Chains A and B, each alone.
Chain A
C-alpha cells in the first residue's frame, strides 16, 4: 500500500475529504468510504454502465475512474433521485426496471441525456434514445420500458420537437 494522502472531492454538492490507497476507483470510494451504496458494481471493467455517475455533469463509469483523476464534482443516484422524480415515476410506470440492479446507472445516464440536445425531428427520438442508452446493459426488461420512460420524461419536459430543455 502506498500513502493515503487525503484529497478533496465534491460529492453530491458536499466537499468530502478522502484518504484511500493510490488508484482506488471512485466506485469504491463512493460505496465503501462514503457509504453511498446506490451506485452498483456489475463488471468492474467499464463495460456495463451499472456504476454510472456524473462527473462535471457528464456520465462516466465510476468503476474505472481512479480517484486521483476525478477532476470535477461527482453526482450519484442519491442526489439524482431527488431531482428527477418524474424520471423515476416514468421508470416505475413503464416497466423500466425489474430486478433494479442496473437501475441506478440507467437513471443517472438518463438524467444526463435529458440535459443533452434531442433530435429536432420527433420521429427520430426513439432510435436516438435506444442508441444513447446503449452503454447501460439491462438483462431484465428488454429495454423497451427504459426507452419509453426516458421518452415520456423528455416529453414532459418539453424535449420532443428538439432542442435544449
Chain B
C-alpha cells in the first residue's frame, strides 16, 4: 500500500479526539508551583527600584525574581540584536513588559503577591505609534546602528533594472495600503513548565513551542548554563502560527523561578496577557507603484514599506526583508526598487507570524494588480497570467523555480469560482475578486537552517519509531513523517510512532517555521528511512541470499523467504538491546544564504504559488460583507496527505479572512483594548463559508516526493481577494484592513456625497459636551490621564467567602447585603469579578429560587417570564408566540452562553465599553475627574452616537431593546414589596438600571398586545455572537390595510439606553410603512438628534440601514402569512 499521498488519519487522532494528549498545562509534577508575572503598566519608564520584601512574606510564596537574579547583561539572542532582557533591566519599553515574577503555591497567591511588589518608575516619553516615534527630538528607545532615533533598520533593494522598466512603461498605478497588527490567538495560551533537577544540575522543560531547538539554545545562554543542562520534553502544542517559532517570553522566567524556588514552576499566561503582551504580526504601511506597458506586462515595481517594530527587535528586520523579497518572486518586471524602514515604538513587540511580511506586502501588490487590470481594461486573471513566473526561471530576488504552477492555479480558480459568469451577470452589491500569492518552503536564513536530521529506531517487535527534533503545533508534521517511514520501510502506518521535541533523544532540527516542516522533515525522514532500509536489506541478505529483496508487510522479503524487521534489527551488531537505530542528516543542496549586500539568493528549495477567488455580497445599508463562495487553488507539488494539505489551506484562508474582515489589535495609551475573544473580531464558524481548496499537483524536483510547502502561502491572498471583490461589488476600494462595516459605509457616504448635519450649534443641551470633546485632543485627555493610575489588566478575581444558593425569594433577599452580588447565569458576573469591577464576598445564585424560571400567562393576559429563565429556554418558549424575542436571543453570544445566561442577567448586564472593562481607570471605574477613554480611543463600534455625556458607553442588552419595543414591564421585588417599572423607565444609564442593591428583578411582564404586534429584530455585529454595533427592534399593530398603528421603533447600542425614535414613530403612525419611508423619517430624526464621536458617525447610517432591514423582515413575514 502506498502511504505517501494517502488520507491517513492524524497519527494521534484517537488520543487527540478524546482529550488524552498531554499539553504543557496537563503535566502534573510533584510540588508544582504557579508562576505569575508583574508587568509594566507604562509604555516607557525607567525603573528606579523594585521592592519585593512585602510580597516575599506573603503566604505560599516561594520565589520572586527580577532582572537582578539573571546573569548580568542577560539578553535574548533573537536575531543577534540582543536588545531585550527576559525581565526588564532598568528600562521598560512597552505596556506589559515583564518586570518581576512570583512562584507560589496557588495562582491566586501568586497574583496577590504581585500586587505587593513595589516598583518605583520614572516616566519617560513614549512613542505610541510610528508617527510619534519619528517626530524630531523624540527620545530614542534604543541606540540603533542606523544612528537615527527609533529607526531600527533601513533596507534598500534593487533587483533587475527598475529604471529601465519605468522607462519602458506607459501606465502606472499606485496606492498606500495599511496592514494592521494581528494576534496569533493560539487556543493554547503561552505556557512553560520548568523543573530544576539539583542532582543532575539540569533544567527540564515542558513548554509549548514550534522549535525546542531555540528554547534550549536561548535558555542555556540567557541563564548562563552549559550545553546539555537544558532539556525539553515532548508535549502537545496548541497552535503556533509563528508565535512559538522562536523562544517565547515565559520559558526563561519559568526556568529561573524553578531554579530559585527549588520546586517545579508553571508559568501560564491568561488570555488577556496572551493578547496584550506577546509578540504580534507587524503592522505594515506599504506605498507601492506598478509600472506596465499597454499590453499589461509589468515593467517595474516601486515600493516603500514602513514596519512598526514595537519595542524590541525580534524578527522585525527579517520580516521586513521577507516582505520585500515577496515582491521579487511572483511576477517578472524588469526590475524592482524597494525600500523599508523598521521603526521602534514603545508598543508590544512584533514577531514572526504565518506569512512573515509577505502577507502584508502581497495585500498591496494584489490590490494594485486589480487596479492595473481595471486601468488597462485587461481581465485580472489574464493580467496575472501574463506576468506569472514559470518553472526554470530565476526570479528577481534570486529564487530558482524548480516548478511554478501559478498559471494553472489561476485557471483553476477562475473556473471554480465561475468568474466569467459572475462578471457577466453584474448583480448589484455582489462582486468577485481574485488574488495570487507565493511563499517559500523553508528558508536558509542562518547557518543550520538548510539542514535537518532524523533518526529511526527498529524495535524487536518490529515497531518503528521516528525521532525528530522539531515540533508539530498542529500542522500534521508527525503524521507525514509516519507516512514516509511506513512507505520506505514497508510497514503499516499504525506500526510507526513519532517522537518529537525531546532534546535528549531527538537529533538536530531548528523547528517548524518558514513552512519548512514538510520539506525538511520529509527529506530527512525519507533519507533516514532509505538508509535504514538498505541496512535491513544488507542484514537480510546474510540470511536470504543475494536475490532481489523488498520491504513489505513489516518484513524484508525475497522469493525464498522473509524476516521481520525486528528480527533483522536484533541481528545487527550495531543494535542495542535489540534496537537498531539509524540517524542521518539531510542538508539541502540548492538553498543559499542571502547575499549580504543585495539580499538575493535562492533562499528556498521550492516555491509554492496560489490563487484565491471569492464571491461576496456587500450590504450597502449596513456595510456588512458576506462571503458567498471561496476557492483556494494551491501549487503544492505533490500532496503527502491531502487531508492535511486541505486543512492547512482552509485554516490559512480563514486566518487571512480574519484580518480581511475584522481582526486588528487596537491600542490606547500603549495598552491593547480589544484583548479578548469577545472584543477581537476573529472568525467564528458561522462567519465563514465553506472554503473550497483545489490542489494543483505535478511535483517539484527539489521537494520530498515532489512536495512543496503549504502552511503559510494560504494566508497571503485572502485580504486582497476580499478588497478586490468588495471593489467589484460596490465600486469603493478599501486600503486599510480590516474591511469592517464602518469603512464601507464611510466610503459609500463619501462617494455618494452624503453627510449628516447635526446642527449642534442650535442645540444648547449639547454645547458643553461638544466643548469637552473638542478639548480632549487639545490636552484635556493628557491632563486627566496623567492624574490617574495607568490602566491595569486584571485576570484574577478576588476570592469569595461563599456562594449562596437560596431556594426562595425571601431567602435570596435576606442574603443580599453590601458585600453580596446577585448572579443569574453568572456569565457576566464572573467576568466582572475577573475584571475587578466587583469584589463581592458572597454571590447569591438565583437559578435555584422557586418560581424564578417560570413562564406563565396571568389572568389579565400578561405573560410573566421569571428572571432566572435561561435565554435558551426563553427562546424555545417564544419561538412561535413572539418570534422576535427568539430571533434576538439567537444572535446573543453562543449556544453555551444561552444555556447559562438568564433573562434578568441579560437585562442587567454591565456596559461593555472595552476601556471600562479592560482596566482603564475611566470615569465609570474611578469617578471624579477620571477621563472617558472612548472619546479619543477607538469608539467606532460599541459607543454612543446620540446622547453621550461623561460616559460614551451604551446599554449592551439586546433584550432590553426588544422588550422596550414590546412595551414590557419589569417586576422588581424588595424586602418591603414589589414594584412594576415599564421598560421605558428601566434603564438609567449605559447598562445601569433602576434595580437597587437590595432589590431583585423577579420577572418581566409582556403585555397581550405583544402577541398581536408584528415585529422584527435586526442587528449589525462583527462576528456571530458579538454584541450589537447597532440593532433595531420594530413593532407595530398592522391593520388589514397594511397600515402601522402605534409603531415602536427602538434602536439598540446607539445611545446610553435603548433609544426610541419618537419622531419617526409619529410620522409613520397610520401609514403603510416601507423601508424607504422609514429611512426618510429616521434619517431626519437621526440628523436632528445625533451627536456622534469623531469616528462613529457611520453608526447612524448603519442604524438607519439595520432599521430598514427590520421593516423588510416585518413585510416579508406578512407576505408569508398572507401568501
**Interface residues, chain A, CB within 8 Å of chain B?**
1-3, 21-23, 25, 35, 37-50, 52, 58-61, 64-66, 68-69, 71, 76-78, 81, 88-89, 91-95, 97-104, 107, 109, 126-127, 129-147
Contacts and interface: CB of A to CB of B under 8 A. Distances in A.
Contact of A2 (B676, B802, B895): B802
Nearest to B684: A134
A103 B19 contact: yes
B18 interface: yes
7 contacts: A23-B800, A92-B14, A93-B643, A97-B474, A101-B236, A134-B686, A142-B653
A69 B678 contact: no
Given A40-B19, A64-B830, A99-B236, 6 more contacts: A23-B799, A49-B894, A129-B685, A135-B897, A142-B683, A143-B654
Given A23-B799, A39-B19, A130-B685, A48 B25 contact: no
Contacts of B572: none
B388 interface: no
A69 B827 contact: no
B13 interface: yes
Given A60-B899, A61-B900, A139 B239 contact: yes
A61 B690 contact: no
A38 B20 CA distance: 6
Contact of A134 (B7, B655, B685, B690): B685
B669 to A, nearest CB: 23
- Residue among A3, A41, A130, A143 facing the most chain B CB atoms (10 A cut-off): A143
A154 B1025 CA distance: 24
A81 B19 contact: yes
Interface stretch (B130-138, B181-189, B931-939): B181-189
- Residue among A60, A81, A89, A97 facing the most chain B CB atoms (10 A cut-off): A60
Interface string B165-198: 0000000000000000000111111000000000
A101 B238 contact: yes
Nearest to A145: B647
Contacts of B801: 2, 22
A69 B822 CA distance: 13
Given A42-B189, A64-B830, A100-B474, A130 B271 contact: no
B560 interface: no
Given A137-B677, A141-B647, A141-B651, A101 B187 contact: yes
B827 A46 contact: yes
Given A49-B894, A142-B650, A99 B678 contact: no
B23 interface: yes
Nearest to A129: B685
Contact of A69 (B7, B475, B803): B803
Given A48-B187, A93-B643, A142-B651, A99 B473 contact: yes
A139 B655 contact: yes
B316 to A, nearest CB: 23
Nearest to B897: A46
Contacts of B28: 35
Contacts of A147: 685, 690
B338 to A, nearest CB: 32
B688 A98 contact: no
Contacts of B261: none
6 nearest CB pairs, A to B: A38-B19, A135-B894, A99-B474, A101-B238, A142-B654, A98-B474
A41 B25 contact: yes
Contacts of B1024: 131, 134
A58 B899 contact: yes
Given A59-B895, A145-B647, A98 B475 contact: yes
B831 interface: yes
A38 B826 CA distance: 24
**Interface size grouping (class) on chain B:** 35 or more
Contacts of B652: 142
A48 B848 CA distance: 26
Contacts of B541: none
A133 B417 CA distance: 26
B853 to A, nearest CB: 11
Contacts of A21: 799-800
A144 B896 contact: no
A40 B238 CA distance: 10
A34 to B, nearest CB: 12
Contacts of A49: 894, 896
Nearest to B20: A38
A150 to B, nearest CB: 10
B834 interface: yes
Nearest to B642: A95
Contacts of B236: 99-101
A100 B256 CA distance: 30
A101 B191 CA distance: 13
A99 B830 contact: no
B399 interface: no
A90 to B, nearest CB: 9
B320 interface: no
Given A92-B13, A144-B691, A1 B799 contact: yes
B650 A99 contact: no
Contacts of B1084: none
A44 B270 contact: yes
Contact of B187 (A2, A45, A58, A138): A138
B801 to A, nearest CB: 4
Contacts of A68: 803, 805, 845
A95 to B, nearest CB: 4
A82 to B, nearest CB: 8
A118 to B, nearest CB: 14
B146 interface: no
B643 A99 contact: no
Nearest to A76: B19
A144 to B, nearest CB: 5
B647 A98 contact: yes
B651 A45 contact: no
B795 A47 contact: no
Contacts of B845: 66, 68-69
Interface string B797-810: 10111110100000
B685 A64 contact: no
A45 B474 contact: no
Nearest to B870: A58
A47 B687 CA distance: 16
Interface in B797-843: 797, 799-803, 805, 823, 826-827, 830-831, 834, 843
A135 B895 contact: yes
B16 A22 contact: no
B270 A140 contact: no
B695 to A, nearest CB: 13
Interface in B3-24: 7, 9-10, 13-14, 16-23
B823 A69 contact: yes
B709 interface: no
B942 interface: no
A32 B1046 CA distance: 57
B684 A45 contact: no
Contacts of B393: none
B1068 to A, nearest CB: 32
Interface in B628-682: 643-644, 646-647, 650-655, 676-678, 682
Nearest to B823: A69
Interface in B472-499: 473-476
B896 A42 contact: no
B690 A140 contact: no
A47 B801 CA distance: 26
A24 B476 CA distance: 36
B682 A38 contact: no
Contact of B1025 (A22, A50, A107, A134): A134
A4 to B, nearest CB: 11
Contacts of B124: none
B205 interface: no
Given A45-B676, A60-B900, A98-B474, A139 B185 contact: yes
B650 A22 contact: no
B21 A100 contact: yes
